[in-house]
Amino acid sequence: MTIENTASAQTNAREWVKVLARYRDPNPVRSGFELGVSLVPFLALWVLACWVAQYSYLGAFMISLLNGGFLLRLFCIQHDCGHGSFFGNRTVSDWTGRVIGVFTLTPYDVWRRSHSIHHSHAGDLDHRGIGDITTLTIEEYHQRTPFGRFLYRAYRHPLVMFGVGPTYIFMLLNRLPVDFMKDGKKYWISAMGTNAGIAAMLALIVWLGGWQSLFLVFLPTTLLGASVGVWLFYVQHQFETTQWDQPEDWQMHDAALHGSSHYDLPPILRWFTANIGIHHVHHLYSRIPFYRLPEVLKDHEELVDCSRLTIRESIKCVGLNLWDEQNRRLVSFKAARRLRLAAA
């Protein structure tokens, strides 16, 4: 079932904003609980893995992989803090996000600005490049040089997108406020402060479990969390019926609802991902705390099938690489070539 014959048949995207506004208020007790059940197990498993590393490399590695799930959940909480939806007090939200940013290797204020740009311009073909996954139209791809097309293919390859890419972003790119180098000291303070916190964290890991803990505890936890996080962000916007428009046709609310998926995950995965799969609702009203998103779907069942993706269906999204402006679909390189041959 498509979004056109569900939610849009009853109300348009702008009207949904008014409906969703009543879910925006966070519960400070619930927020504190969600933070506790994410951060405490993360730290406990972290210490346990460092201790186990002295006796069993495999044991420490397996614990660290499990802890990647808690790190991912912490990133999702940091994400809510960036939207001001986790605590009603903006200062508390910001400092919670900054502390979590040390564990996620993400300078909070830099990320918050980048992510705000993503939300403000998602689906606008004239505002790509900051806070999103680079996506070319078929025409743009074929206007590139052969080497330019090779680079784009390499960038979109799964090994780069979900392996090399996350490692580069979280280990290297996040160390400097790359997109905001000239936008004031705030972003430099955010990046350098986070770097200092990371250095202290790494020193503590070495002190607890020796140098091997960096490779058996820190790296597996971080890289697994980063790769799964990039995968989630990918399928939230890189699906066949997503929406991109030229500026003259772009509407922010329509792009939020139509250009973001509902990644319908099993309950345990919904918990570890803090309901971020309910992304169409989140993009339409980002001030809703993650723990209230299921409440929205329960009260408004017509939103359940909006751009819904199962895990099986999401695997197919990996092969979609170019935006077909004429047919308004994300298509594979092979399909794009067929379309150009047919047009010729």
Return the closest-CA partner of residue 73 out of 280, 220, 291.
291
The average confidence (pLDDT) of the chain is 93
Helices (H) and strands (E) in the chain — how many of each? 19, 5
Model confidence at 11, in pLDDT bands (50, 70, 90)?
low
Return the closest-CA partner of residue 242 out of 228, 261, 223, 225.
261
At residue 259's C-alpha, the angle toward residues 257 and 263, to 5°, is 85
Task: Give the dihedral sign, CA 185/187/189/191.
Answer: negative
Contact between 263 and 232 under an 8 Å Cβ cutoff? The reply is yes
Q: What is the pLDDT of residue 343?
A: 79
Return the closest-CA partner of residue 71 out of 176, 223, 232, 175.
223
Whether 2 shows a pLDDT value over 60: the answer reads: no
- Name the strand (E) or helix (H) holding 35: helix 28-52
Whether 260 shows a pLDDT value over 60: the answer reads: yes
d(CA 167, CA 165): 5
Whether 98 shows a pLDDT value over 60: the answer reads: yes
Place of tokens 């079932």: 1
> b/e string for 227-258 if b means 16 or more Cβ within 10 A?
bbbbbbbbbbbbbbebbbbeeeebbbbbbbbb
Residue 329: DSSP 8-state: E
**Strand, helix or coil for residue 323:** strand
Residue 23: DSSP 8-state: G
Whether 310 shows a pLDDT value over 50: the answer reads: yes
Q: What is the pLDDT of residue 299?
A: 96
Place of tokens 């040089």: 145
Whether 219 shows a pLDDT value over 70: the answer reads: yes
- Mean pLDDT over 240-248 rounds to 94
- Name the strand (E) or helix (H) holding 283: helix 279-284
Q: Give this prediction's pTM.
A: 0.92
Whether 1 shows a pLDDT value over 60: the answer reads: no
Q: What is the pLDDT of residue 130?
A: 85
Q: What is the pLDDT of residue 6?
A: 45
Question: At residue 316, what is the residue type?
Answer: K
Q: CB-hemisphere CA count at 13 Å for 196? A: 7
Q: What is the pLDDT of residue 9?
A: 35
